[in-house]
Structure 1
Amino acid sequence: MRRLTSLFPSEFLEEHAEELGVVERDRKLQIPAFVWAFVFGFAAGEGRTLADFRRCYNSTADKTLSPGGFYQRLTPTLAEYFSDLVEAALDEVAVPDSVDVDVERFRDVMIADGTILRLHELLSEKYKSRYEEQAGAKLHLLQNATEKTIERFDITHEKTHDSTMFKTGSWLQGRLILFDLAYFKYRRFALIDENDGYFVSRLKQNANPVITKELREWRGDAIRLEGRQIHDVVDDLYRTYIDVEVEAEFKRGLYNGTQSLDTKRFRVVGVRNEDADDYHLYITNLPREEFLPSDLATLYRCRWEVELLFRELKTQYELDEFDTADPAVVEILVYAALLSLLVSRDLLGLVTEVADDEIVFPPERWAATFRSHAQLILSKLGEFLGYSPQPLLERLIEDAQKIHQQRPILQETLATATQPRCES
């Protein structure tokens, strides 16, 4: 329990909640219990309903909250508070588990990606979707695979292009960035190179740069590639690798109201996929002297780490299932899911430290284990923090009784409807 309370000390949770105005002066809401109820309630609950989170809180805190008292606290301010907690935890927790590639050459290996979250259709104005009568948000992550942390996260509407969320600058120096096709742009690649950074991306099908030089010589009557466009020749090749220099034309950013054309030379590598009888094509600025084509394919596989992260959020924490039309609640639930993930990985770090060195903990198996024990961990944490929740029988009575006195339950409705017939 000390591991968890050192990650989020109660004093810090209370002070920051007061700074943002999340809690009232009478302190009726016990903010540490409230935060932990969302962290572990998100992991433990089957439906992830707001009622489930309220029950988690009532089973932990000294005093219970009514449904109205609970729901009125789910505000944009609380969403901002949870976002700040995610930011605070990112500096402390390793996510994801590991990258099995030698990356000592780089200051860091970064992975940029995003995933779509399907929302209630009533949120279509705020969270615009690509499809009519739907709503969708997009979670953008910039992951540091070397330090095993998430460096940045953003939530936007679904139609926001991933590419617009990636900003170039001096921070790129010495770093390797791995992109999927959503981030493909020659100008971006040029800016990374000009900031002394490195990149590897898949080559788009509609990107067809001109080959200026072959970086590997082939014996015999090999097809000459110089002066030809890459996609025009790949279908005629059967060699194991393609390794060429290409020249790409692109528009620079606006300057004094005009955009100038420019060219830049990059390296394109093809690794043959025998099963599909084609090539996986990559574009990069990594030098051939240090990175062979097979090395680039291995490096690019690091991108699978962020895909596993998104899959864990969606399969284990059901991140893409939202049954609410309140945008603030959507943000709260997304941040709660990220907090659950971070706390889960922090506990995985503790388990790894204690266990024998030869024991391996696959991330998804660990996530399932964490979920199955989340309610027990929350109970033990409440005891550690000194909370004395209402007796179980009283909580059962409170949760099970009819809340709205004017709303008849089904049995009452049936009894009223059939009574005249019985009397007649």
Structure 2
Amino acid sequence: MRRLTTLFPSEFLEEHAEELGVVERDRKLQIPVFVWAFVFGFAAGERRTLAGFRRSYNSTADEPISPGGFYQRLTPTLAEYFRDLVEHGLDEVAVPDTVDVDIDRFSDVMIADGTVLRLHEFLADQFEARHEEQAGAKLHLLHNATEQTIERIDVTDEKAHDSTLFKTGSWLENRLVLFDLAYFKYRRFARIDENGGSFVSRLKQNANPVITDELREWRGRAIPLEGKQLRDVLDDLDRTYIDVEVEVEFKRGPYNGTRSLDTKRFRVVGVRDEDADDYHLYVTNLSREEFFPADLAQIYRCRWEVELLFRELKTQYDLDEFDTSNEHVVKILLYAALLSLLVSRDLLDLVTEQADDELVFPPERWAATFRSHAQLILHELGEHLGYSPPPLLERLIEDAQKIHKQRPILQETLATATQPRCES
């Protein structure tokens, strides 16, 4: 339990909640329990409900909170507070990676990616989707594979393009960035190169640059490629690798109201996929002297780490199943899911430290284990923090009783409906 209270000390949770105005100074709401109830309440159970989070709180806090008192705390300020906790946790918790290629020459390897979250259709105005009569949010991550941390998180509507959130600048110097196709733009690649950074990206299907030079010599009657467009010769090639220099044309950013055309030379590498009888094509500014085609393909596989994070959030925490039409509740639940993931990974680090060296803990198997023990961990954490919840019987009575006097339960409704018939 000390590991968790070191990650999020109670004093820090309380002070920051007061700074933002999440709680009043009388502290009727026990904010450390409130936070932990969302962290472990999100992890536990097959389906997350707001009532379930309230029950998690009431099973741990010194005094229970009423449904009205609980729901009125679910504000935009609480969403901001949870986001701050996520950013704090990201600075403390490592996210494992599997980078095997020698990339010590870079200060950091960065991975940019995003994933779509389907929302209640009533949120279509707040979270505009690509299709009408739908609502969707997008979670964007900038993952530092070297430091094993997530450096940036953004939440937008689905229509917001991933690339608009990636800003080039001097921070890119001596960093390697890995992109999926959502970020493909020659002007972006040029800006990275001009800022002293490096990149590897898949080549878009409709990209057909002109080959200016072959970077590998082939013996025999090899097809000459110089001066030809890449896509025009792919079907005629049967090489294991393609390694060429290409020239691309793009528009620079606006200056004095105009956008000038420019050209840039990059390297394009193809690695043959024998099963698909096709090539995986990558565009990069990394030199052949330092990285062979197979090296680039292996480096690009590092992106799979972010895909695994998204898959874990969706499969283990049902991140894309938000049954609410409240905009800020969506954000609260999103950040609660990320907090659960961070706490889970922090405990995985502890388990790995304590276990024998030869033991292996696959992330998804660990996530399922963490979920199955979430309520037990929350109970022990509450005891560690010195909370004394009401007796179990009192909590059962509190949670099971009818809340709204005006709303009849099913038996009452049936009795009222059948009474006239019985009397007649």
- Whether contact under 8 Å (1:98, 1:148) holds in the other structure is no
Aligned pairs for 1:65-80 within 5 A:
65-80=65-80
Aligned to 1:319: 319
Question: How far off is 1:229 after superposition?
Answer: 0.6
Aligned pairs for 1:240-389 within 5 A:
240-389=240-389
Aligned to 2:116: 116
Deviations 1:39-94 (A, max 9, x none): 00000132110001000000011011111100000000000000000011111101
Aligned to 1:62: 62
Deviations 1:278-300 (A, max 9, x none): 10000000000010000000000
Q: AA paired with 1:366?
A: W
Q: Secondary structure at the match of 1:283?
A: strand
Q: Percent identity?
A: 83
**Residues 97 and 192 of structure 1: is their aligned pair in 2 closer, same or farther, counting only changes over 3 Å?**
closer
Q: Which runs of 5+ in 1 are unaligned?
A: none
Which of 250-259 and 307-316 deviates more? 250-259
Question: How far off is 1:97 after superposition?
Answer: 4.7
Q: Secondary structure at the match of 2:36?
A: helix
Q: Secondary structure at the match of 1:279?
A: strand
Aligned to 2:141: 141
Q: Secondary structure at the match of 2:13?
A: helix
Deviations 1:110-164 (A, max 9, x none): 1100000000111000100011111000000000111111000000000000010
Question: How far off is 1:416 after superposition?
Answer: 1.5
Distance in 2, matches of 1:63 and 1:8, equals: 22
Aligned to 1:32: 32
Distance in 1, matches of 2:415 and 2:25, equals: 47
Deviations 1:348-391 (A, max 9, x none): 00011111111111110110010000000000000000000111
Aligned pairs for 1:211-230 within 5 A:
211-230=211-230
Deviations 1:394-418 (A, max 9, x none): 1111111111111111111111221
Question: How far off is 1:169 after superposition?
Answer: 0.6
Structure 1 residue runs of 4 or more that deviate by more than 6 Å after TM superposition = none
Aligned pairs for 1:199-238 within 5 A:
199-238=199-238
Question: How far off is 1:102 after superposition?
Answer: 2.9
Question: How far off is 1:95 after superposition?
Answer: 1.3
Q: Which runs of 5+ in 2 are unaligned?
A: none
- Whether contact under 8 Å (2:247, 2:263) holds in the other structure is yes
Distance in 2, matches of 1:100 and 1:378, equals: 37
**Residues 11 and 159 of structure 1: is their aligned pair in 2 closer, same or farther, counting only changes over 3 Å?**
same
Distance in 1, matches of 2:117 and 2:102, equals: 33
Aligned to 1:128: 128
Which of 1-10 and 45-54 deviates more? 45-54
Q: AA paired with 2:167?
A: K
Distance in 2, matches of 1:267 and 1:186, equals: 12
- Whether contact under 8 Å (1:96, 1:309) holds in the other structure is no
Match status 1:51 vs 2:51: yes
Distance in 1, matches of 2:291 and 2:395, equals: 63
* TM-score normalized by the length of structure 1: 0.99
- Whether contact under 8 Å (1:97, 1:363) holds in the other structure is no
Question: How far off is 1:212 after superposition?
Answer: 0.3
- Whether contact under 8 Å (2:109, 2:145) holds in the other structure is yes
Q: Secondary structure at the match of 1:219?
A: coil
Q: Secondary structure at the match of 1:155?
A: strand
- Whether contact under 8 Å (2:101, 2:295) holds in the other structure is no
Distance in 2, matches of 1:335 and 1:44, equals: 16
